Amino acid sequence: EAGVAQSPRYKIIEKRQSVAFWCNPISGHATLYWYQQILGQGPKLLIQFQNNGVVDDSQLPKDRFSAERLKGVDSTLKIQPAKLEDSAVYLCASSSIRDRAYEQYFGPGTRLTVT
């Protein structure tokens, strides 16, 4: 099966600019996660969708970050305006509620550099 797709792979922006990331999960996976991974740290969950509904966004800085999954398939994560501390890799992952329901499959990530 095809894996989780993300784009772009790299992005460099100046602080106060806006940026958007896109994720297409594995076909049929109902759960989609966005993680922020700062260099040298573990992934931190930003937001989690079950189909097109948000089930956890407790760690999403809502004053500048937003995410949507309108049709319950692909998703976009937006940062507006970006800060220097947003420099990180943004990982998208998906999982299925069938079979190995707990296993997350990660995309290649988008490396964001804010200057």
Judged by the rule CB under 8 A, the positions of this chain that interact with another protein are 30-31, 33, 40-45, 48, 50, 55-56, 58, 91, 95, 97, 101-104, 106-109
Work out how close the CB of 59 gets to another protein at its nearest, in angstroms, rounded to a whole number.
9
Largest Cα span, the chain: 43
Read off the amino acid at residue 39.
L
Distance CA 115, CA 37 (A): 17
Nearer to another protein, 79 or 91 (CB): 91
Distance CA 115, CA 112 (A): 10
Work out how close the CB of 20 gets to another protein at its nearest, in angstroms, rounded to a whole number.
20
Nearer to another protein, 57 or 74 (CB): 57
Work out how close the CB of 18 gets to another protein at its nearest, in angstroms, rounded to a whole number.
25
Torsion sign, CA atoms 11, 41, 75, 24: positive
Nearer to another protein, 15 or 62 (CB): 62
Nearer to another protein, 14 or 56 (CB): 56
The structure tokens 């996976």 sit at 29
